[in-house]
Amino acid sequence: MTKPPNPQRRSQKSRDAILTAALELCGEEGYGRMTIEGIAARAGVSKKTIYRWWPSKGAVVLEALHEAADTVAPHPDTGDFAADMRTQMATVIRFLSPPSHAPLAGLVADALRDPELAEQMRERLVRPRIEAFGQRMRRAQEQGQLHPDADLDVALDLFYGPLYHRLVLHLGLPEPAYLDTLIEHVIRALDPGHGRT
């Protein structure tokens, strides 16, 4: 149909301006109220240029987040698995809480209606972070801080499920003290030997 443009000729300046403008506007007026036209205006860019490289508002925000989030929310490894999970999950909670939750929450909302966007989000944002969690978890197992038979999928569900559950049902995200309780429970759940010998 429409011939795809040549990426080599792409203007890096326009690209950066668009991604920056998207994140700024997202914070200022909210994901839902932000429009492609608004992003174009803020970035000093033609609407056409946005549509040339991205199929939707969600795709722009996804790429902006992908770029911005590479440095954030790493899995620390101090040798204390529970403490490291506490640190990492607290960071995630910050990204899911006001005032900084707009881009991620908006993207999640759009992805619930756009399967294409959902796949992009899963593969580019979610999957790498699951991988990072998996690596940290395996180290904890090697160091004997977590039962060697603990299941990665179950661990992922039990650690991060409560966060998204509370986000989408608007039940309020965990306070630090409650987060500790949660982590304690999950680590116990992952120990099938449950103390007996």
Asked if 78 interacts with DNA (CB under 7 A), we say no
With tokens 């790429």, the residue in question is 63
- Considering only residues 16, 28, 32, 44, which one is a binding residue for DNA as defined by CB under 7 A? 44
Q: Please report, for residues 21, 62, 159, the alpha-carbon distance to residue 17 in angstroms, rounded to integers and kept in the order given.
A: 6, 15, 36
Q: Are 182 and 193 in contact (CB under 8 A)?
A: no
By C-beta, is 48 or 196 nearer to DNA?
Answer: 48
Asked if 31 interacts with a copy of itself (CB under 8 A), we say yes
109 binds, among DNA, a copy of itself, none (CB under 5 to 8 A by kind): a copy of itself
With tokens 């409650």, the residue in question is 178
Calculate the CA 59 to chain-centre distance.
14
Q: Is 79 exposed, middle or buried (0-12, 13-18, 19+ CB in 10 A)?
A: exposed
- Considering only residues 40, 45, 85, 108, which one is a binding residue for a copy of itself as defined by CB under 8 A? 108
- Considering only residues 28, 70, 119, 149, which one is a binding residue for a copy of itself as defined by CB under 8 A? 119
Asked if 180 interacts with a copy of itself (CB under 8 A), we say no
Where is 115: in which H helix or E strand? helix 115-120
Binding site for a copy of itself (CB under 8 A): 30-32, 105-106, 108-114, 118-119, 121-122, 126, 151, 153-154, 157-158, 160-171, 178, 181-182, 185-186, 188-192, 194-196
